[in-house]
Amino acid sequence: MEDALYPFRSFYQKMPSFVQNAIGSGYRLLPRSVQHGSFYTLYQNRICNFHLQSTNALSMQLELLKQSVNSAVASVPFYSNFGPIDSFEDLQQFPIIRKKDFVERQSEFLSRIYRKNALHANTGGSSGTPMEFFLHAGRTRPKERAHFDWFWGQVGYTSQSRVLMIRGAALKGNALYEYQRIKNCLAVSCYEINSSNIVEVLRQVGRFRPDYIHGYPSAVRNFMQCIMDSPHATWNFLLRGLFLGSEMLSPADRATLESFFESKVMTWYGHSECAVMGGNSPNSNELHFYPFYGFTELVDDQNQPIRIPGQTGRIIATSFDNYVMPFIRYDTGDQGTLSSVNDFHGMPCLVLSRIEGRAQDSIYLSDGTKVSLTAFIFGQHLPEFARIREMQLEQHVAGEILLRIIRGSNFRNEDIGNIIRRLKKSVSNKISIEFECVERIEKTHRGKHRFLIQGVTSE
């Protein structure tokens, strides 16, 4: 039903709120399997089977991999000269595909058999390179909903839970907040919220009484900072969890948010292409890449598998369940560090101790050296960072960056000099830094915070 109704989404969003909520109330009375279709239940059952038969997880994952890859060999033009696979090792015959390949040769990756099930989609462009592609109608969206119902359910979430949502596109009429019955959530605009209106927002939060917060890390951190900056605002609501995704979350921010909200932060790693999914658990902050969702590899610069814990490599994903445009050995553009853990509740799987961010999330020094933001920013732990509400870097010339910030209420003028001096020292003064204090940092059209605008490309 969800895919059938999706074309009417823009019409629904233009309706008055009371009409939307009336429709949403009726829609929510339907069972999840009716709302999202039969594949919702099939994927739920798959997760259960993997948990019940954890010792057979690899063989079950291999069957899913074979279905996806061998369907592509039989019906996708790009893979017509490749043979079917019978083992994980056979996958190595397939080349690693990058985003530009899909952009330049899109039609070659579209199945001849399943193109009638094509569901148009696109990335949001937060990495700077938007991409159009196709998902599988009746499968991809039900799978995503079933997966998150299970993932969030690890900390008690149900379809009846109340969610405070701080993410996404601007609300209708640039409203500060809006109740959305169809999702049972109170949506707060990440564009409009500030320390002067936070008291009104908290008044609405008190009436709503959320069980969980769902948002982008930057938006929830800003929400927290607004509360801290206002002498009349206090957070005194009991949460069962925070669901934070779509952006990098530093260990320091995780600790700060968990302390402030007195609740567990659940994060995940995925992307619009729906080829890979990893998440933490209530007992671990490491990211487990679920064998029932897709097949994930971690490879070095020579495209060889990384097997030594502590080493960093590129995340390569092969999708399950999308026969329309399967992603086979797709280079996500992201990097991760291999953990010493290699299972999830007894299921063998890839586990990463951290995501390094996108490969392009790096700056270039005056001598051409490439430095990741993890090393340059996230690993610095400068005390001044705690007094900054939002930050953005922009680079168009190697060795030069613009550091754009929104000040927190306790930010001091001397913090600027301290930040510049310490950042330059960390890279042996091989960079010049221009500092700019602003009132607002523009988000992507989906409301994401873009931490780096990178105009320099590697040779």
Mean pLDDT of the chain: 87
- Specify the pLDDT at position 128: 44
Residue 412: inside a domain, yes or no? yes
Kind of pairing between the strands at 347-348 and 118-122: unpaired
Task: Quote the pLDDT of residue 99.
Answer: 85
The answer as to whether 436 is a domain residue is yes
Owning domain of residue 446: 362-454
Q: How many CB atoms lie within 10 A of CB 346?
A: 11
Q: Domains in the chain: how many in total?
A: 1
459 or 165, which is more confident? 165
**Token code pair at residue 326:** 């399967």
For position 68, what pLDDT does the model report?
Answer: 98
Measured CA angle at 65 (ends 61, 67), to 5 deg: 120
With respect to residue 332, please indicate whether it lies within any of the assigned structural domains: no
Residue-wise over 158-188: b if at least 16 C-beta within 10 A, else e?
eeebebbbbbbeebeeeebbbbbbeebbbbb
- Banded pLDDT at 125 (limits 50, 70, 90): very low
pLDDT, residue 126, reads 46
User: Residue 414: inside a domain, yes or no?
Assistant: yes
- 170-218 per-position pLDDT tens digit: 677 778 899 988 889 999 987 678 888 999 999 999 999 999 999 988 7
**Is the residue at 316 inside a domain?**
no
Distance spanning both ends of the chain, measured CA to CA? 48
- pLDDT for 256-268, tens place per residue? 999 999 999 999 9
- pLDDT tens track for 413-449: 999 999 999 888 878 788 999 999 998 888 776 666 7
Say what the pLDDT of residue 168 is. 65
pLDDT-derived band at 289 (thresholds 50, 70, 90) equals very high
Q: Is the pLDDT of residue 127 over 50?
A: no
Task: Answer yes or no: is pLDDT of 10 > 70.
Answer: no
Q: What is the 3-state secondary structure (H, E, C) of the chain?
A: CHHHHHHHHHHHHCCCHHHHHHHHHHHHCCCHHHHHCHHHHHHHHHHHHHHHCHHHHHHHHHHHHHHHHHHHHHHCHHHCCCCCCCCCHHHHHCCCECHHHHHHCHHHHCCCCCHHHEEEEECCCCCCCCCEEEEECCCHHHHHHHHHHHHHHCCCCCCCCCEEEECCCCCHHHCCEEEEHHHCEEEECCCCCCCCCHHHHHHHHHHHCCCEEEECHHHHHHHHHHHHHCCCCCCCCCCCEEEECCCCCCHHHHHHHHHHHCCCEEEEEECCCCCCEEEEECCEEEEEECCCCEEEEEECCCCCECCCCCCEEEEEEEECCCCCCCCCCEEEEEEEEECCCCEECCEECCEEEEEEEECCCEEECCCCCEEEHHHHHHCCCCHHHHHEEEEEEEEEECCEEEEEEEECCCCCHHHHHHHHHHHHHHCCCCCEEEEEECCCCCCCCCCCCCCEEECCCCC
Question: Does residue 444 lie within any of the structural domains?
Answer: yes
Average pLDDT of span 64-76: 98
The CATH number of whichever domain residue 441 belongs to comes to 3.30.300.30
Model-level pTM? Answer: 0.79
